[in-house]
Amino acid sequence: MRKDFGEKEAKEFRERNLNDTRYICKFFKNYVEQYLQLHEDSEAKRCVVLSGQMTSFLRARWGLVKVRGDSDRHHALDAAVVAACSHSMVKRLSDYSRRKELEQVREGFVDVDTGEIVNPAMFQQVQEHFPNPWPHFRDEIKLRLSMDDPALLRGEMEKFGTYTPAALEALHPLFVSRAPQRRNSGAAHKDTIYAQPERLVAQGGVTQKVPLSSLTLKDLDKLIDPHRNEKLYAAIRARLEQHGGKGDKAFPASNPLRKPDSGGNPTGPIVRGVTMVIDKLSGIPIRGGIAKNDSMVRVDVFTKAGKFHLVPVYVHHSVLGLPNLAILGSKDESEWTLIDDSFDWHFSIYPNDLIRVTLKQESRFGYYAGCDRSTAAIHLWAHDRNQQVGKDGLIRSIGVKTALSIEKFNVDVLGNRYPAPPEKRRDLA
């Protein structure tokens, strides 16, 4: 919202964020030291916070490339690097940094793309001070970050000869764990309140004031009170026809339209917008009008006759009571399916709940991202938000009405998945 945002303001912004990061790192370090019970044989006595410089240094030393934009798996890469770092490595890097020898050290790194070593003598020193954690460390990390097929992963790992048969059997691909957002708060409705004159209540229509520059000739049939504003609407039509029906050309800021007087002369005030009827709108009645629903808290899943039905639950239902209308692939709620005792209840789906949808030809597995009211389809995040799956890692428009099954899973912090236990339908209050 600042009018001016130059280098000085950007620097202040960065410093504020860095201070916040330092604070939370210090807090979390103390928290771990206070509550984490180490194994009785552990030599570690304290928690060490690795700086971004340290993890970046070790990634480069061990030939690991971090690409944030591909997916969320880069967090696992950093976790593996931090886990493989020792106290002695932290001290050595601090010594190099203090003596300002970091650039020389980097000359001893192997270029990941070309395999070139600029300084062989420094390479030997770096190998001694920052050795690979174990043989094939880099290759193993790359495999663990990229392979989703358990059998293929175990087959590739077996080639290294460092895993026992029992350890290989226990291996499973990386899976990103996310916390479900099971809260009932949020905005009950959008800020804009659409007027609804009494004559439009029956058909659910609402009115909205729109700028002249957005009008087309087709919109003229939707304008309010054509008899009261006959001369004004005639002037608007004439302008649009003169400019090929394009409102932006017919009503530029340099040539505003003035309201005609009783004689048809443009001597009245400047007209910048008109009120017209827009499509049916479902939402919440507010102060004589209607506001669109805002936050969808969850989707409730029912079945009947082998078909799935989704009931969207919004924040305002905490006051109105749980809804009983299932989406029918239309924006008009008057056409939706009424849920009664003949429907079977299954479960509620909140944002970031792990869902598997089995269709006739394929299966979709991911974290719930949202529901489309107009198509009765849901959207799922790929577990790692892999950009190759879809834009931003989102699997869009999965039709569920004729799905063979919809399953819900719980995920622990380590990514282990378990079928969700049976649940009752809960209120929002």
What Rg do the C-alpha atoms of the chain give, in angstroms?
31
Half-sphere exposure of residue 49, counting CA atoms within 13 Å on the CB side? 15
What's residue 424's pLDDT? 94
Residue 20: is its pLDDT beyond 80? yes
Half-sphere exposure of residue 108, counting CA atoms within 13 Å on the CB side? 19
Phi, psi of 289 (to 5 degrees): -135, -165
Q: What residue has token string 């970050």?
A: 145
Question: In which band, very low, low, confident or very high, does the pLDDT at 94 lie, cut at 50, 70 and 90?
Answer: confident
State how far the Cα of 407 lies from the Cα of 347, in Å rounded to an integer. 9
For 44-48, 195-199, 208-212, which range has the lowest pLDDT when averaged over its residues? 195-199
Question: In which band, very low, low, confident or very high, does the pLDDT at 425 lie, cut at 50, 70 and 90?
Answer: very high
User: Exposed, middle or buried, 224 (CB in 10 Å: 0-12/13-18/19+)?
Assistant: middle
CB atoms < 10 A from the CB of 313, how many? Answer: 22
Q: pLDDT tens, 45-66?
A: 678 888 888 898 899 889 898 8
* Count of positions (residues) in the chain: 429
Residue 72: is its pLDDT beyond 80? yes
State how far the Cα of 209 lies from the Cα of 283, in Å rounded to an integer. 18
Contact (CB, 8 A) for 419 and 374: no
Segment 290-315 shows an average pLDDT of 86
CB atoms < 10 A from the CB of 273, how many? Answer: 14
Question: In which band, very low, low, confident or very high, does the pLDDT at 205 lie, cut at 50, 70 and 90?
Answer: low
**218, two tokens:** 């087709």
What's residue 284's pLDDT? 63
For 123-137, 161-175, 275-289, which range has the lowest pLDDT when averaged over its residues? 275-289
Q: What is the mean pLDDT of the chain?
A: 85
Domain definitions of the chain by residue range? 7-170, 215-274, 291-419
**151, two tokens:** 């059998």
State how far the Cα of 389 lies from the Cα of 381, in Å rounded to an integer. 9
Residue 420: is its pLDDT beyond 90? yes
- The 3-class secondary structure across 304-344, one letter per residue, is ECCEEEEEEEECCHHHHCCCCEECCCCCCHHHCEECCCCCE
Residue 125: is its pLDDT beyond 60? yes
What's residue 223's pLDDT? 82
State how far the Cα of 233 lies from the Cα of 218, in Å rounded to an integer. 13
Interaxial angle between packed helices 137-146 and 74-84, expressed in degrees from 0 to 180 and rounded to the nearest 10:
150
Q: pLDDT tens, 397-414?
A: 999 999 999 999 999 988
Segment 367-387 shows an average pLDDT of 90
> Which comes out higher in pLDDT, residue 246 or 388?
246
